[in-house]
C-alpha cells in the first residue's frame, strides 16, 4: 500500500498538462511573434505560455507539500482513515487545483492545515471538501477579518457575552468592555476595504450583523463571528503570519 508521502509525490501530475502546452507553444515561433504584438499583454502572455507559469505553479505545489509534511509530522493518523478511497483522491486533486491558483503562502499553509486536520480527525471527506471550498472563496483580507473577529474580546453591556467588532465608533451605553474597532485591529486596511470584506463575510454566514436595534446602531456597524467562522478556523489548525 502506498504511503501518504508517496501519494502526495504524484502532485507533479497536476502541472503536466501545463508543461505540455508550454512545449507545444515554444515550438510555434509564428504564434509567439503574433502574441508579442498584442498591446500591453503580449510579453506577459508569452511568459505565461513559455513555461514560466508552469514553474510558478509547480513551486506553489511544492511549497504546499513542504507545509503539509511539517504538519503531518506533528499528528497521529486516525485509524479510520482510508487513503485508498475515491473520496481521498478527489479531495487531494481539488486541493492541488486550489493550491496552484493560490499566490499567498499563508493560504497554501491553510490548505495544508485542512488536509492535516482530516488525517488526524478523519471527519467525513465531504466536510473537508466543504471547508476547502469555503476557504478557496476567501482572500487574505477576509481571513484577517475572521481572525480579528474570533479573537476579539468578549464584551459586556449591550453586547454582553459576544465577541464584537465595530466598523465605526458609536454609543453602546455603559460598558467596561465595549466592542473593539476593526480599524485598530487591522490598521493596514482602509475602512472602505473592511466594510466591503465584512459585507461579503456576512453574506457567507461567517459574520453576523449585530448593530441594528442596539443603541441606535446601524447596519454593518457591529459584527460578531458565527459558529461557521469558528468551524472553519478550527480546521485550518494553526494560522501563520498572514502574507
219 shares a domain with 159? yes
218 shares a domain with 160? yes
Residue 156: partners with Cβ closer than 8 Å, 6 or more residues away: 175, 176, 177
Are the C-beta atoms of 173 and 161 separated by less than 8 Å? no
58 shares a domain with 121? yes
Residue 109 included in any domain: yes
- d(CA 145, CA 73) in angstroms, rounded, equals 30
The pLDDT of residue 243:
47
CATH code for the domain of 164: 1.10.10
Residue 130 included in any domain: yes
The pLDDT of residue 189:
93
119 shares a domain with 169? no
147 shares a domain with 84? no
* Residue keyed to cell 464584537: 164
The pLDDT of residue 171:
65
Residue 53 included in any domain: yes
**Domain around 42:** 4-136
Supply the pTM of this predicted model: 0.73
The pLDDT of residue 227:
96
Domain final residue pick, 120, 136, 152: 136
* Residue 154 DSSP code: B
89 shares a domain with 181? no
175 shares a domain with 125? no
The pLDDT of residue 11:
47
Question: What is the number of domains present in the chain?
Answer: 2
Are the C-beta atoms of 180 and 223 separated by less than 8 Å? no
- d(CA 111, CA 97) in angstroms, rounded, equals 11
* Residue keyed to cell 473577529: 149
The pLDDT of residue 233:
92
205 shares a domain with 113? no
- d(CA 198, CA 141) in angstroms, rounded, equals 9
* Residue keyed to cell 480527525: 121
Residue 37 included in any domain: yes
Stretches in the chain below the pLDDT threshold 50:
1, 7, 10-11, 13-15, 18, 25, 240-241, 243
Amino acid at each position: 500500500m502506498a504511503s501518504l508521502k508517496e501519494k502526495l509525490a504524484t502532485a507533479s501530475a497536476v502541472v503536466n498538462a501545463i508543461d505540455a502546452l508550454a512545449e507545444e507553444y515554444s515550438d510555434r515561433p509564428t504564434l509567439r511573434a503574433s502574441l508579442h504584438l498584442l498591446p500591453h499583454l503580449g510579453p506577459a502572455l508569452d511568459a505565461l505560455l513559455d513555461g514560466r507559469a508552469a514553474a510558478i505553479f509547480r513551486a506553489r505545489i511544492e511549497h504546499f507539500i513542504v507545509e503539509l509534511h511539517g504538519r503531518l509530522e506533528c499528528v497521529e493518523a486516525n485509524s479510520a482513515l482510508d487513503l485508498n478511497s475515491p473520496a481521498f483522491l478527489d479531495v487531494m486533486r481539488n486541493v492541488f487545483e486550489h493550491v496552484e491558483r493560490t499566490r499567498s503562502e499563508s493560504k497554501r499553509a491553510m490548505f495544508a492545515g485542512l488536509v492535516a486536520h482530516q488525517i488526524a480527525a478523519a471527519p467525513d471527506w465531504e466536510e473537508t471538501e466543504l471547508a476547502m471550498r469555503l476557504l478557496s472563496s476567501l482572500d487574505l483580507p477576509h481571513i484577517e477579518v475572521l481572525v480579528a473577529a474570533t479573537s476579539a474580546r468578549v464584551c459586556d453591556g449591550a453586547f454582553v457575552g459576544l465577541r464584537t467588532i465595530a466598523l465605526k465608533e458609536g454609543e453602546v451605553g455603559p460598558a467596561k468592555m465595549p466592542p473593539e474597532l476593526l480599524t485598530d485591529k487591522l490598521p493596514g486596511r482602509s475602512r472602505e476595504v473592511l466594510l466591503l470584506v465584512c459585507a461579503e463575510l456576512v453574506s457567507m454566514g461567517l459574520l453576523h450583523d449585530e448593530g441594528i436595534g442596539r443603541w441606535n446602531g446601524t447596519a454593518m456597524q457591529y459584527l460578531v463571528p458565527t459558529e461557521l467562522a469558528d468551524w472553519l478556523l478550527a480546521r485550518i489548525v494553526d494560522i501563520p503570519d498572514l502574507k
